[in-house]
Amino acid sequence: VLTTMDITTDGFGWMLSFGDLTWVPCMYSLQARYLSFHPVHHSPVAAALIAVLGVGSFLVFRLSNSQKNAFRTNPSDPALRHLKYITTESGSKLLVSGWWGMARHVNYSGDWMFGLAQCLATGFDTPMTYFFSVYFLVLLLHRNYRDECKCRDKYKKDWARYCELVPYMFIPYLI
């Protein structure tokens, strides 16, 4: 958490404090609150698909972030020796295999799909419970834009080379 863009780039200010104290508790509990007043009964197949999406996307989010953090902390760790990377002119190392070889922001995909699974659990009787998913998609797209600009400026021609090696932003072979 302490190495995420929220902390390293944005810092602790209005956006993060407002988000953590008001926005997150409200938005992240909206689906549960809705379900407490409007129970939804899914078929076993629908419930299983939503659960698989939720667990799978959570694993993508956590495992990709854990891999990046482990590599940042100790790139010479023997457990990470299978990972390929490029070294930039600034001396930074950019992963081009493992989770980060699949897509430049694969963690965003896992994070968003996890939120979508929570929304899907509420059924389709109201668009209100999908507000979170739409809002979160906009937030992640904006964060992606800022991150891409920052990396383009920081790594210059190395970023272009990285993007050739990892052409997908979010979902391998799709986006």
pLDDT in tens, 114-131: 999 999 999 999 999 999
Q: How confident is the model at residue 11 (pLDDT cuts 50, 70, 90)?
A: low
Of the candidates 67, 75, 80, the one whose C-alpha atom is nearest the C-alpha of residue 92 is 75
pTM for the full model?
0.85
Query: Is residue 44's pLDDT more than 80?
Result: yes
Q: What are the tens digits of pLDDT across the range 75-90?
A: 999 999 999 999 999 9
CA distance 76 to 103: 22
Query: Is residue 7's pLDDT more than 70?
Result: no
> For 86, phi and psi rounded to 5 degrees?
-110, 145
> For 85, phi and psi rounded to 5 degrees?
-150, 165
Q: How confident is the model at residue 1 (pLDDT cuts 50, 70, 90)?
A: low
* Consecutive H or E run containing 125: none
